């Protein structure tokens, strides 16, 4: 079992956001969810997170905008676009292709 983490999930697809939250809360983590880049920035400006799980495309914004924010210890990208995988690999950013599974989510938090 992993140590409980404070996790921010940034995802604009509500069913996925709810799935991620349910799985990770059941695994014992503290979860904050947001669906806009503005809300993500606001959360990161007020709270420190062990992990930020972020969709690469949130509305008209790129999840990369959050990458350099100092209030998270780890950053993981999720996307339905496989073209982002090479970009993430080059920058050393963990990448998971949607649909993200239960096992993927558990792996992300290790």
pLDDT at 79: 92
Query: Structural domain boundaries of the chain?
Result: 6-108
Q: What is the pLDDT of residues 21-38, one digit of tens each?
A: 999 999 999 999 999 999
Separation in Å, CA 35 to CA 2, 6, 55, 60: 26, 17, 10, 12
Task: Look up the CATH number of domain 6-108.
Answer: 3.40.50.2300
Q: Which two tokens stand for residue 77?
A: 């990208």
Q: What is the pLDDT of residues 34-93, one digit of tens each?
A: 999 999 999 999 999 999 999 988 888 887 778 778 888 899 999 999 988 988 888 888
In terms of Cβ atoms closer than 10 Å to its own Cβ (0-12, 13-18, 19+), residue 39 is middle
pTM: 0.91
Number of H helices and number of E strands within the chain?
4, 7
């Amino acid at each position: 079992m992993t140590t409980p983490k404070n996790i921010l999930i940034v995802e604009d697809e509500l069913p996925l956001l709810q799935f991620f939250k349910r799985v990770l809360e059941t695994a014992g983590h503290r979860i904050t969810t947001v669906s806009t880049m503005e809300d993500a920035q606001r959360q990161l400006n007020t709270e420190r997170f062990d992990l930020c799980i972020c969709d690469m495309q949130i509305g008209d914004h790129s999840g990369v905008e959050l990458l350099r924010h100092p209030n998270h210890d780890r950053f993981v990208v999720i996307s339905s676009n496989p073209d982002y995988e090479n970009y993430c690999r080059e920058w050393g950013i963990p990448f998971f292709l949607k649909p993200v599974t239960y096992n993927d989510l558990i792996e992300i938090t290790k």
